[in-house]
Chain A
Amino acid sequence: DAKTTQPPSMDCAEGRAANLPCNHSTISGNEYVYWYRQIHSQGPQYIIHGLKNNETNEMASLIITEDRKSSTLILPHATLRDTAVYYCIVSPSSGSARQLTFGSGTQLTVLP
C-alpha cells in the first residue's frame, strides 16, 4: 500500500477554511486519494475521493497536485462539528477487493 503522511494535529478558527495536507509520494497510477473523518467514538465518515482532477462536493474540496504526490482537503467554512480526526488514504479504484488502510490521521480542532 502507498503510505500517506499527515500532520498529527491542526487548529482552525470557526468560520474559516480548514486546509488539511497529505503527502503520498509513492502513490501508484491506479490509486485514488480518499478522505474520511472520524468524530470521537463514531465510525468513519466518507468525505471525498479523487484520482487526479480536483473534486468538490457538498462537504469539501480536494486539491491534488499535478504530480499526484500530495493533496489538500479543504473545508471551506469550518464549524465546531467538523472537529474530528481526518484520514487521508490512498487505495486502488473501488473495483479492488482491498480494503482501506488507515494511517494515524490529523486531529482537526475547530476553535470558537
Chain B
Amino acid sequence: GAVVSQHPSWVICKSGTSVKIECRSLDFQATTMFWYRQFPKQSLMLMATSNEGSKATYEQGVEKDKFLINHASLTLSTLTVTSAHPEDSSFYICSARPSVSTDGYFGPGTRLTVT
C-alpha cells in the first residue's frame, strides 16, 4: 500500500524557536496534503489543506502566520511551527492523497514538545 512518512517522529524545542515537520509520500505523488493536530486524549483536528504549487487553506481558528505550510513538490509538504509555545505541544499528523478520486493515506505523526 501507499506509504507516507513524517520527519522527525518526535522533537523537543525551546519556547520561541521554530520547528519544521516534513511529510513525504514515498511511492506516489500527492496532489493534496492535509495537516492535522491532536492534543492528548482528543481527536484529530484538521488544521489546513495544501495543494501542490498553491497556498494552503487553513481551517477556522488556525493562524496561518504561525503554522506555515509549504507544498512545493508532489511528494513533500512541510509544516513550520513558528515561535513555538508550550501550548503548541501536540501530535501533528499529515495525510497525503494521490488524486481527487482517491482517499488519503496518513503519516505516522510527529510528537512536538515545546519547553
Contact = CB atoms under 8 A, between A and B. Distances in A.
Interface of A: 34, 38, 41-46, 49, 87, 94-97, 99-105
Of A45, A87, A97, which is in contact with the most chain B CB atoms at under 10 Å from its CB?
Answer: A97
B98 to A, nearest CB: 10
Contacts of B107: 43
Contacts of B64: none
Contact of A43 (B46, B100, B101, B106): B106
B43 A41 contact: no
Given A94-B101, A99-B95, A100-B104, 6 more contacts: A43-B109, A44-B106, A87-B43, A94-B103, A96-B100, A104-B43
Interface in B73-115: 91, 93, 95, 100-109, 111
A47 B105 CA distance: 12
B34 interface: yes
Majority DSSP secondary structure for residues of B touching A: strand
B103 A46 contact: yes
A100 B45 CA distance: 10
A34 B46 CA distance: 17
Given A94-B102, A95-B101, A43 B43 contact: no
6 A-B pairs with least C-beta separation: A43-B106, A102-B44, A102-B43, A44-B106, A43-B108, A43-B109
28 contacts: A42-B108, A43-B6, A43-B107, A43-B108, A43-B109, A44-B44, A44-B93, A44-B106, A45-B106, A46-B103, A46-B105, A46-B106, A94-B101, A94-B102, A94-B103, A95-B100, A96-B100, A97-B49, A99-B34, A99-B46, A99-B49, A99-B104, A100-B104, A101-B46, A102-B36, A102-B44, A104-B43, A105-B43
B91 A41 contact: yes
Contacts of B36: 102
A43 B35 CA distance: 12
Nearest to B109: A43
Of A42, A87, A99, A101, which is in contact with the most chain B CB atoms at under 10 Å from its CB?
Answer: A99
